Structure 1
Amino acid sequence: MTGPNDKLPERLLPKACARAGLALAIGLAAASAPVATFAAEAEQPVPMRGAKVTAKARQAAAEEKASEKAESAARSGEGVIEPRVTMSSDTFYGPPTPKARKGEIGNIEWTEPAAFVPPALEEAVNIVSEKYPSLLSARAALKAAASDVKTAKWQRFPTLTGNLSYLDDNSSPVPQIVVEAPIWSGGRLSANIRRAKAGEDASSAQYIETVLDLATLTTQTYFEIARLTEREKLLESSLKEHEALVATMERRVAQEISPLADLELARSRAAQIEQDYTNTMSQRRSTLRSLAELIADPTYDLGPIPQYDPDATLANRDAIEEQAVAYSPRLERLRAEAEIARAELAGRKAEILPSLNAQYSYDNVFGSRVGVVVRAQNTGLARFTEVNSARLRIDSSLEAIRVEEQQLRRDIESSLIQYDAAKRRSEISLSAAATAASVSASYTRQFIAGRRSWLDVMNALREAVTAEIGRSDAEMSVMATAAQLLLRSGRWRPVFTQSDENRYELGQ
């Protein structure tokens, strides 16, 4: 090691000296790396999920029970068919956590939905999940978060600082090189890595949240198109009936059988139906345009109007609320943000302590030197107030989780109430529509026989179409609400080739 009184070389030191010093610094860095790694592993938090993980014994029992059922089916002569991945109604799933590996994210697919979900809707959800701009933005953000994790981990390795100056009259270069490697950082490095990983989890949950929001929007739009299409057909049929009655009344007025007021009433009712028909047609076209923008295909074939099955019900209805809480990617994102706040608190506490680094330096005055550097930065009491602020941010994050969970439970309960009410309305409207149609036909015959007034005929016809529209709206509401509940509970969910999904069996 060169001292201040030793004779220095006129130009650069021999390369062998510099290489020896650099090798020694790297050796110190290698020795300090296990210490930093152990500290990082010791400070890693326990991951938080949306549901409590069941014991391995329960999972083993469930698997054994499933195998017994398969053996029983085989003995009874039933063929064993392996369908696509489906979501069991008594299973809890945490949200998928796709991660970027080598700069790429696995392809997104969907589990098989319930039988009442039309194939056209299933395909539309798949298309939206791949091409929509907000999803591409979320995927890019997830890749950036994965890169942030790598950046945080690289902080454990040595850093090189160098400059080359020209200070003397001979314009000879004067090099300065500093190589530092962390030995003990007081928890700074592990806090940075922990914060970066939590940020990646938050970006992953945000990505899944965007996927589900778009899938829900696509589902709502699809069933709204189906509802408006059915309504348009009913109004078109009713308009033809009204026009036929107007023509009949025109002949009766021309023959002076009926008064002019009856003709004006028929024309007025026909105009009202035509107005409703025009409004419905414009709403349907506008909704079609919205769906075309979602799937980026104006010529997409929506197929036939979905048929309502009154016998179809939501399996294991009582478990939907807890499944939605366990699956919610928004709750997962809030938990990741709370973990970011915890890592921020750990980092603020670590900044109060000094750091210890191994250092190799070379300049033209002292030459090559290897030693240990203790570095501390003091900003007075500001460090302690920053720690208190970080601790309060954790409390804020935890309260946000509680608020979101309460809101989610209210939304699911409201959707279930809406589902039950719509299902009941569909049953009532079915009989009401049949009765109204029968009454309308009867009143028309009685009018010809002189037993009913023209106003009775027009009112009965309006009640008939109103009952049919109510039935159609109720049936579409049942299917739309059920599909949204499947999405929010994870029974119909996205899967990834590189996802890290969490499965929980429902306790008996």
Structure 2
Amino acid sequence: MKKKIIGIILSITSLSFASEVCEIGSNELMKQLVSNHPSIKMSQEIIKASKERIDSAFWGFFPTPSVDVSAKNSDRYTTVARLDQPIWTGGKLTSNYDIAQSKEKESLYELGETSFNLIENYFVILEKYIQSKSNIDELNIGLNNLLELKEMLERRIDSGISSTSDSELLKARIQQIRSDLILAQNRLKVSIMQLELILDKKLDCEIDLNKIILLHSSNIEDSINRLLSFHPSVFKINSQIQTAKYELENTKASIMPNLSLRGEHRRGDLYNENYDKENSNQSVVYLTFTASTNAGLSALSNIEAARIKVNELKFKKLTVEKELIDTVLNDYNNYEIAKDRIKILENSVASSQNVLDSYKRLFVAGKRQWLNLVDASRELMNYKIQLANVKTNKNILAYKLALKNGQINLLNGEVK
């Protein structure tokens, strides 16, 4: 019986402990992000609409039925049923179909671009979240160290060894850390709210930043080439250029004539009041030829405007590529700097810890001032905060570089 009771108590304790340390991986949240965000849903709807426009353009090659009814009174009317089949349009139908297909590709790449920007924004917020948490931890450790020093100082003041002015200095430093702690807690709260907003869900668990194996080359040119061969914005602008070329062809075709085969059935006569109502049905099949150059020379102006748009998009592509290269260079450089800074800060933390331990002994021996001891404690805390921030920054930069190298699937958020 006792064993059963102990087992129940242990199970309850383990459950409560599990609930206290509830964690969710950052990669899992990334998958949820690219699946549930409204902008992703919107892009998916745009793709569906693009597919429907392709079907609409395809049906343009088929016959078009129409009915005209004209009436002067109940006895004098004309009903005409027509069926028009395009034979030659100068390229209008083909270019319309090509435009629809090209715009579908645009919408597909726009979905990837939206996902890319969402994930990148998620990394920015996640970095603030992780850094705020680590800052709070280090500030609490620093605060506890000062509180321990405060207990030691109070004993020395009671013994008449130290003065009360040292206590005032310590109180000011403790108050400063508590103020920094409040700021860090506010940053954490804001970052959680931002994460909940972008993820569209309530965060009940702490986020664990998953490790990633970065597959980027030490040769920066390789990273640039991979970025330009993968990034959806580059594919999107290429599709926009192709769409503009098809629109140019469509504009040129607008001044070409149309040749159609028309089947027509007519009943009644609007102009002749003495027509034979019983034998007024007529059926005929004939060719129609229509042409229009629009007002003045507007067609030529439209053609030139369409040609300029193609050139405009080509220059836009160069701009997009330069901006992307700049971002990968910046992330690559910051990543390498962070790796070096981590080594330096780790040495600084170890040195500061040794200095603090030494100052404690020297202070007790009367060879160091109280101010030296408090300053050493704060310096150690600051180095630890910097080290935690740089480590987080390096890990997030690794994810950003992985995103730019194509290691993250933009459709489902999985890390390759």
Query: Aligned partners of 1:314 and 1:465: how far apart in 2?
Result: 34
The CA RMSD measured in Å over matched residues stands at 2.0
CA distance in 2, matches of 1:368, 1:388: 44
Structure 2: distance between partners of 1:474 and 1:281:
19
Counterpart for residue 414 of structure 1: 330
Counting only pairs closer than 5 Å after superposition, residues 193-204 of structure 1 correspond to structure 2 as: 193-204=97-108
Q: Hey, what does 2:383 align to over in structure 1?
A: 467
Give a deviation string over 1:276-314, Cα, whole Å, max 9, x none: 11111111121112212222332453454657x9xx665
Q: Which residue of 1 aligns with 2:217?
A: 316
The answer for the alignment partner of 2:163 in structure 1 is 259
Aligned partners of 1:126 and 1:356: how far apart in 2? 53
Q: Conserved in 1, the CA contact under 8 Å of 2:25 and 2:209?
A: no
Question: What is aligned with 1:138?
Answer: 43
| Cα displacement (A) at 1:218 | 2.1
**CA-to-aligned-CA distance 1:395-425 (integer Å, 9 cap, x gap):** 0000000011011111101110000001111
Pairwise CA distance, 1:315: 4.0
Is residue 353 of structure 1 aligned with residue 269 of structure 2? no
Structure 2 CA distance, aligned partners of 1:210 and 1:298?
A: 22
2:237 aligns to what?
A: 334
Secondary structure of the equivalent of 1:494? Answer: coil
Q: Which moved more, 1:424-433 or 1:244-253?
A: 244-253
Closer, same or farther: CA 340–294 of 1 in aligned 2, 3 Å? same
Q: How many positions carry a matched residue from both structures? A: 375
Q: Distance in 2 between matches of 1:461 and 1:493?
A: 45
Provide the C-alpha distance between the structure 2 equivalents of 1:221 and 1:282, rounded to a whole number of angstroms: 14
Q: Which whole-Å CA distance do the structure 1 matches of 2:401 and 2:215 have between them?
A: 9
Answer yes or no: is 1:273 the counterpart of 2:177. yes
Aligned mates of 1:385, 1:333 — CA distance in 2:
27
Match of 2:92 in 1: 188
- Do the aligned partners of 2:112 and 2:411 also contact (CA within 8 Å) in 1? no
Aligned pairs for 1:31-430 within 5 A: 120-170=25-75, 174-304=78-208, 314-318=215-219, 319-363=222-266, 364-365=268-269, 367-379=282-294, 380-430=296-346
Post-superposition shift, 1:226?
A: 1.7
Q: 1:305 to 1:138 in 2, by over 3 A?
A: closer
SS of corresponding position for 1:316: coil
Structure 2 unaligned spans of 5+: 1-22, 270-280
SS of 1:143's partner is helix
- DSSP-derived class of the 2:61 partner: coil
What is the identity percentage for the equivalent residue pairs of Structure 1 and Structure 2?
22
Q: Deviations over 1:304-344 (max 9, x none)?
A: 4657x9xx665423222111111111111111111111111
- Please name the residue that 1:13 is paired with: none
The alpha carbon displacement at 1:494 in A equals 3.1
Distance 1:462 1:381 in 2: 78
Structure 1 residues without counterparts, runs of 5 or longer: 1-117, 497-508
SS at match of 2:202: coil
For the 8 Å contact 2:349–2:384, the answer to whether it is kept is yes
- Please tell me whether the aligned partners of residues 26 and 209 of structure 2 are also in contact (alpha carbons under 8 angstroms): no
TM-score, scaled relative to structure 1: 0.70
1:120–1:301 Cα contact (<8 Å) kept: no
Q: Give distance in 1, aligned partners of 2:207 and 2:316.
A: 42
Counterpart Cα distance in 2 of 1:300 and 1:243: 32
Q: How far apart are 1:221 and its partner, in Å?
A: 2.4
> Which residues in structure 2 correspond to 1:478-489 (within 5 Å)?
478-489=394-405
Distance in 2 separating the partners of 1:202 and 1:323: 20
| 2:371 is aligned with 1:438 | no
Contact 1:292 1:300 in 2 (8 A): no
Length-normalised TM-score, structure 2: 0.85
Give CA deviations for 1:150-192 in whole Å, capped at 9, x if unaligned. 111111111111133443344x864211211110010111111
**Structure with the largest fraction of helix:** 2
Structure 2 SS opposite 1:317 = coil
